[in-house]
Chain A
Amino acid sequence: MSLQRIERPVIIGTRGSGTSLGADFLRPGSRATFRFLSRYGVLVAFLALWQVSSSAGWVNAAVLPPIDTIVAALWKGLAGGSLLGDIAISLQRAGIAFAAAVAVAIPLGLFMGQVRAVETALDPILQVFRQTSALALYPVFILLLGLGEASKVFVIFWATLFPLLLNTISGVKEVDPKLIEMARVYGAARLTVFRRVVLPGAVPSIFVGLRLSATTALLLLIASEMIGANKGIGFQVMNAQYNFQIPLMFAAIVILAGLGLIANQALVSLQRRLCRWSNPID
């Protein structure tokens, strides 16, 4: 029991103790302001600069309209409902494709990561597919599936599949073999080892894949909607530009940025809940 004295217990990484050093001397009220500014100051300054340079005429307001005009166009589109239909159809395309990619890539990746022979056999073709731009294949998909919904959903599915699949495979492969051996020593059967050791160990890497895939899904969504669509946020960006409705174009771009942020934030929160044990996320 002399151990307790020899070795001081160390607890690190308690959550919520992260007040920044520079804020310590400030009063509580201004401390919150300080924290807000240290995080969002540059963003606020960027928006302010945009607003001022546009309304003061430093830049061509027809090409870069002031922020308040963009916000007004955004509000009109959302409250008036004209953009809601576009958002719905875009979410549907990206959502179906992303869900299909998850349903295919995670089980397949878990399997491939476990069985070396399958991984060895499929790796070269996966690398070729991954390095071939999905956008370059889009005309091929259009030829095969027509210019309708199917080719759009498929090109998004195709592009989101690979980051998720490859990250799932590497997540499984990088599970410490020493942990697997430990589980075997306690008599764990193959399925138990998979369920209790391999799967939880691969989750952080799967989340890296999910976040990459979500970003890719939105990217491909816009690209596919810019070709041969008559509805959707990507279509609105192109269409508004053709018709020189520049505030509306920026409103659609803002919606896209918002969707990306929301998707990423949702995945980050889910990851925080599932992987509290792993390194804190950026």
Chain B
Amino acid sequence: MSTASRGEVSIRDLSKSFTLGGRPLAVLRALNLDVRSGECLVIVGASGSGKTTLLRILAGLEAADSGGVAIDGKPVHGVGSERAVIFQEPRLLPWLSVLGNVTFGLEVRGVPKTDAEERARFYIALVGLAEFSDAYPRQLSGGMAQRVGIARALTVQPEILLLDEPLGALDAMTKIGMQEELARIWSEENVTMVMVTHDLEEAIYLADRVLILPREKGGAARLIDVELPRPRDRSGSRFVRYREELLREFGLH
């Protein structure tokens, strides 16, 4: 019963504006959206469309001006243990080893060290870094560091994983590998994923649904269902058609 509603997000009439050069700038205007339990929702939009702001509100790092977010029926105020965030930068503590970084989230929450380490080792292995448990962040490449960040988020076993352009800083080759990795982790972990990206191919590769945020005033947000079998074939004709559809949304095709 409770597992059925695990990781459901409902966003109601959400609005947020910033002051830019003395003038208010609305980035989110009365947004309504339901994220289903266990789904992978990917948010795309031009820069300034408020996609990162939306994710930060979901994370509890920023407050909405009006409207609100509820998770499993409970309104969100601030950060919460049912959510974990993966940022664009790995944000590892340079003085802790890989193991120390991955246990960080659990230790902060008061999980005893040995339990935390046992769970951390499982997720370090899941992201393929078992041999590097004792390495320090400065010894890792960008892709490896980001995988440590992913393991740290998974280790707290969140219902909802929020990803803010997590692969945006990686090179093209590493990025494709990491997209496969994320798809695999998502299918194994039974977690709701909400991810922001500016990479349309990445969106189609990972998403159950793609949310397109409008840039211009008065534009409406659009949802596109990606009905492709997994694992997805990037060069398949249907994949390419989704890509063209998204490009049209941005007026680029």
Chain A residues within CB distance 8 Å of chain B: 1-4, 6-7, 9-13, 176, 178-179, 181-188, 192, 196-197, 200-201, 203, 275-278
Assess whether A278 is in contact with B177, with CB atoms less than 8 Å apart: no
Instruction: Give the contact stretch, choosing among B80-88, B186-194, B216-224, B241-249.
Output: B80-88
Q: Which 5 A-B pairs have the closest CB atoms?
A: A186-B105, A277-B95, A182-B91, A3-B177, A6-B177
B79 touches A3 (CB 8 A): no
Which B residues are within 8 Å of any A CB, using their own CB? 59-61, 79-81, 83-85, 87, 89, 91, 93-96, 104-105, 108-109, 128, 131-132, 135-141, 143-144, 156, 173-174, 176-178, 180-181
Other-chain residue from A7, A183, A277 in contact with B94 (beta carbon distance below 8 A): A277
* A218 CB → nearest B CB, Å: 30
- Are A3 and B128 closer than 8 Å at their CB atoms? yes
Contact assessment for A6 and B104 in the assembled complex, using a CB-CB cutoff below 8 Å: no
How many Å from the CB of A146 to the closest CB on chain B? 46
Q: Which of B108, B135, B177 contacts A2 (CB 8 A)?
A: B177
User: Is the beta-carbon distance between A13 and B138 smaller than 8 angstroms?
Assistant: yes
In the complex, what's the smallest C-beta–C-beta distance from A177 to chain B, in angstroms? 10
Residue in A3, A183, A278 whose Cβ sees the most chain B Cβ within 10 Å: A3
Expressed in whole angstroms, the Cα–Cα distance for A183 and B95 within the complex equals 14
Distance of B113 from chain A, by nearest CB (Å):
13
6 extra A-B contacts, CB within 8 A, seeds A9-B144, A176-B91: A6-B174, A9-B141, A10-B140, A179-B93, A187-B81, A201-B95
B175 CB to nearest A CB, Å = 10
Docked-complex contact A181 and B104, CB < 8 angstroms? no
If A13-B138, A181-B61, A185-B85 touch, does A6 touch B108 (CB 8 Å cutoff)? no
Q: Is the CB of A178 within 8 A of B89?
A: yes
A184 to B87, CA, bound (A): 13
Contact check, B136 vs A277: say whether CB atoms are below 8 A apart: yes
- Chain A nearest Cβ from B58, distance in angstroms: 11
Chain B neighbourhood of A9, CB < 8 A: 131-132, 141, 144
Whether A178 and B87, one on each chain, are in contact in the complex, defined by CB atoms closer than 8 angstroms, is yes
Interfacial chain B residues near A196, Cβ < 8 Å? 93, 104, 108
Q: Name 30 interchain pairs, CB-CB below 8 A, sorted by A.
A: A1-B128, A3-B143, A3-B177, A3-B178, A3-B180, A7-B144, A9-B132, A9-B141, A11-B135, A12-B138, A13-B138, A179-B91, A181-B61, A182-B87, A182-B91, A184-B79, A185-B59, A186-B79, A186-B104, A186-B105, A186-B108, A186-B109, A196-B104, A196-B108, A197-B93, A200-B93, A201-B95, A203-B95, A278-B94, A278-B95
Instruction: Assess the B91–A12 pair: CB atoms within 8 A.
Output: no
Given the interface pairs A1-B128, A7-B141, A178-B89, the reply to whether A188 lies near B180 with Cβ below 8 Å is no
State whether A183 and B108 are in contact (beta carbons under 8 Å apart), knowing that A1-B128, A3-B181, A200-B95 are contacts in the complex.
Answer: yes
B60: A residues at CB distance < 8 A: 185
Residue of A nearest to B139 (CB): A11
Contact A187-B61, Cβ < 8 Å, known A3-B178, A7-B174, A200-B95: no
B91-A7 in contact (CB<8A):
no
Q: Are B156 and A186 in contact (CB under 8 A)?
A: yes
Q: How far is B175's CA from A3's CA once the two chains are assembled, in angstroms?
A: 10
Complexed CA–CA distance, A172 and B79 (Å):
24
CA distance A230 to B178 in the complex (A): 72
Nearest A-chain residue to B171, judged by Cβ:
A7
Contact at A185–B79, with CB atoms within 8 Å?
yes
Known: A4-B128, A7-B177, A278-B95. A12 touches B109 (CB 8 A): no
Task: Establish whether residues B95 and A275, one from each chain, have CB atoms under 8 Å apart when the complex forms.
Answer: yes
Q: Are A188 and B108 touching (Cβ within 8 A)?
A: yes
Docked Cα-Cα span, A79 to B237, in Å, equals 91
Residue of B nearest to A274 (CB): B95
Q: CA A163 – CA B61 in complex, angstroms? A: 36
In the bound complex, do residue A187 and residue B177 qualify as a contact, i.e. CB atoms below 8 Å apart? no
Task: Give the CA-CA distance A183 to B80 in the complex, in Å.
Answer: 12
Contact B141 A10 (CB under 8 A): yes
B81 CB contacts on chain A under 8 angstroms: 187
Residues of B within 8 A of A13 (CB): 138-139
Q: B138 — which chain A residues lie within 8 A by C-beta?
A: 12-13, 277
Distance between Cα atoms of A178 and B138 in the complex (Å):
17
Please indicate the chain A residues that have their CB under 8 angstroms from the CB of B84 in the complex: 185-186
CB distance from B188 to the nearest CB of A (A): 13
Provide the residues of chain B in CB contact with A200, threshold 8 Å.
Answer: 93, 95
CB contacts (< 8 Å) of B89 on chain A: these are 178
Residue of chain A at shortest CB distance from B162? A185
Chain B: minimal CB distance from A279 (Å): 8
